[in-house]
Amino acid sequence: MQLSDFYYDLPEELIAQDPLLKRSDSRLMVLNREDDSIEHKVFRDIKDYIKPGDCLVINDTKVLPARLIGSKEGTGASIEVLLLKRQDDKTWETLVKPGKKARPGARISFGNGKLIGEVTDVVEEGNRLVRFEYDGIFEEVLDELGQMPLPPYITHQLEDKNRYQTVYAKHTGSAAAPTAGLHFTDELLSELTDMGVKIARVTLHVGLGTFRPVKVDNILEHHMHSEFYMIDDEAANIINETKANGGKIISVGTTSTRTLETAADADGTIKPCSGWTEIFIYPGYKFKCVDRLITNFHLPQSTLLMLVSALYDREKVLEAYKVAVDERYRFFSFGDAMFIL
């Protein structure tokens, strides 16, 4: 299967640069796999397609304000540091720009010295290990000085950090938001639970690898990035009970999907577990746990589009994307949503 099989043409003006005033006002394209129909709705209408006894699986990861802008001690040169993966209490694997100014031994000051980072090593793909010095609690310092690590296709400044968090974000550790969940409000979730819909919380900390382009023509040669996930007893029990009672497992986003499909036994049973996943889901994959998917519109030739194409027919997904372009849907992280029934 070739990378070009997942290309579609997207006008740049359809890439959403800002979140809507109200999360659930985004548009919703509903794809029905039984009759191949397409409906155009508003996201809050999603409750019309979910039945009592069904289970929504949400990813409750919380995005770190992981983008730090500082200056190199001695020269004052501006340096951007993006936190990727925590190594220990004070050391992080980071992406540093410009890298040539961040050789081992370089010290970078943030917030007039409230936070100091020293480059200690250069590792895989040119990433830097940075050891931080600070007073107090790192997360509080980061919350004060850090910015949200918005995807490279978003050029506008985000006025409210919380708009790049889901309303149910809990466990800090992501470098990017699980964007399908951005459409939910507390009110909509309450309406769903009042209807008898179950909510299962899993955690997958989204890595920046989610934005890395596929660089091989044969997608089978692509190596997925590794991401940490957790499923606790409560979530596993809710999901297994739903399956046993004939309810549908509705995954909110590709990250929840990757978590469930990593953890599921052959019969779809979920056991409480945690670990690192590199699962790559593309057409031909047989889903074990996930029945339906709520997701955003993804980049051309991305692994996320490949996952969506695995759940539904690739050509029909690309046809739906063409319809979305024609209907002027908003694309990517702050864009509109799709529900595959």
What per-residue confidence (pLDDT) applies to 37? 97
Whether the predicted model's global pTM rises above the 0.85 cut: yes
pLDDT-derived band at 89 (thresholds 50, 70, 90) equals confident
What per-residue confidence (pLDDT) applies to 208? 74
Is residue 124 scored above 90 in pLDDT?
no
Average pLDDT estimate for 72-89: 91
Tens of pLDDT along 311-322? Answer: 999 999 999 999
Q: SS3 for the chain, per residue? A: CEHHHHCCCCCHHHECCCCCCCHHHCEEEEEECCCCEEEEEEHHHHHHHCCCCCEEEEECEEECCCEEEEEECCCCCEEEEEEEEECCCCEEEEEEECHHHCCCCCEEEECCCCEEEEEEEECHHHCEEEEEEECCCHHHHHHHHCECCCCCCCCCCCCCHHHHCCCCCCEEEECCCCHHHHHCCHHHHHHHHHHCCEEEEEEECCCHHHHCCCCCCEHHHCCCCCEEEEECHHHHHHHHHHHHCCCCEEEECHHHHHHHHHHECCCCCECCEEEEECCCCCCCCCCCCCCEEEEECCCCCCHHHHHHHHHCCHHHHHHHHHHHHHCCCCECCCCCEEEEC
What per-residue confidence (pLDDT) applies to 161? 86
Q: What is the residue-averaged pLDDT of the chain?
A: 95
Average pLDDT estimate for 197-210: 91
Average pLDDT estimate for 244-256: 98
